[in-house]
Amino acid sequence: MMIPAIGQFDLHMHSNVSDGTLSPTELVQRISKTDVKVMALTDHDTLGGLAEAKVEADRHGIQFINGVELTCDWRGRVIHLVGLGFDSSSDKFESYMDHLIQLRYQRAEKIAERLEKRGVARGLFDLAKKYAGEGQIGRPHFAQALLELGKVESMQEAFDKYLGQGCAGDVKAEWPAIEQSIALIKEAGGVAILAHPTKYKMTFTKLRELMSDMLSAGADGLEVSYPGVTPGHQHELIKLADRANCWVSAGSDFHSPDQRWTALGRYPHFDAQRVIVEQLCA
């Protein structure tokens, strides 16, 4: 198959199986109205939407790539790892994902408890669970709950006041070490990519250390284009990838049509060697 151009592939997006708002089918239907020909669904810590999305992608002639965005730990920091092109039937996934469901559920109970203790609101757990539905529960579901209760006026305000870094609802969890997450993806035949490297509030010196550790553990590369990355930072990320001779990836990190700053298939234009979609389409 032809290698898709910038804007014709999107390797990072979410459905309502994690913290997105569209079902996997609705997401693919929306993609089918864009220029995107190759897509990966990368829900947080779950493969639950892949089968449904693939069926719909096949119907529309869109090449579908299995994906996931794994929450992991690197030296006490929370890092997101995008896994792509793995075999989702690998039996390694089952216990790993079960563990993550438990981690997220227990963390959600603690988030509710902490916020209720502070008198923010009552009944938060049930409301957040309602928004999560059958899928993985996360902080955005608490943001929706706070919004519904009129405690905040926007998701952003919910993160700024209650859920973001350093706030009461930013409850720590024992996420798997990044080496473990990389091993899981590699053993299932996939590629492992550092998600949105500039979103961790790390210096580039730290980022280079992280990449070096990840590459030693078998990771394949990093995202260099996603909403919010500045041209200067993108330049640095591409330089980092060139020096490490690793792969680069790109995606919209789409969650919802309500978020006006993201759209499927949209991320800043870039020019780089070794774009991972080439390998995934080969």
Pairing of strands 247-250, 221-225: parallel
Please pick, from the candidates 229, 253, 275, 277, the single residue that binds Mn ion as defined by CB under 5 A. 253
Q: Binding string to Mn ion for residues 17 to 56, with x set by CB under 5 A, is what?
A: --x-------------------------------------
- Please, which residue, 70 or 246, has the CB nearer to ligand AMP? 70
Pairing of strands 247-250, 77-84: unpaired
Q: Is 264 in the site for ligand AMP (CB under 6 A)?
A: no
Which of helix, strand or coil describes residue 264? coil
- Please, which residue, 127 or 275, has the CB nearer to ligand AMP? 127
Q: Is 266 in the site for ligand AMP (CB under 6 A)?
A: no
CB 227 within 8 A of CB 253: yes
159 binds, among Mn ion, ligand AMP, none (CB under 5 to 8 A by kind): ligand AMP
Q: Is 71 in the site for ligand AMP (CB under 6 A)?
A: yes
- Please, which residue, 143 or 238, has the CB nearer to ligand AMP? 143
- Backbone torsions φ then ψ of 227, nearest 5 degrees: -60, 135
- For the CB of residue 43, give the shortest distance to Mn ion in the complex, in Å: 8
Q: CA-to-CA distance for 207 and 74, rounded, in angstroms? A: 11
Q: Is 156 in the site for ligand AMP (CB under 6 A)?
A: yes
Q: CA-to-CA distance for 111 and 140, rounded, in angstroms? A: 12
DSSP codes of every residue in 180-237: HHHHHHHHTT-EEEE--GGGG---HHHHHHHHHHHHHTT--EEEEE-TT--HHHHHHH
Assigned token pair, 243: 């020096």
Q: Is 67 in the site for ligand AMP (CB under 6 A)?
A: no
Stretch that binds Mn ion, among 76-84, 98-106, 108-116, 236-244 (CB under 5 A): 76-84
Residues that bind ligand AMP (CB under 6 A): 19, 44, 71, 138-140, 155-156, 159, 164, 255
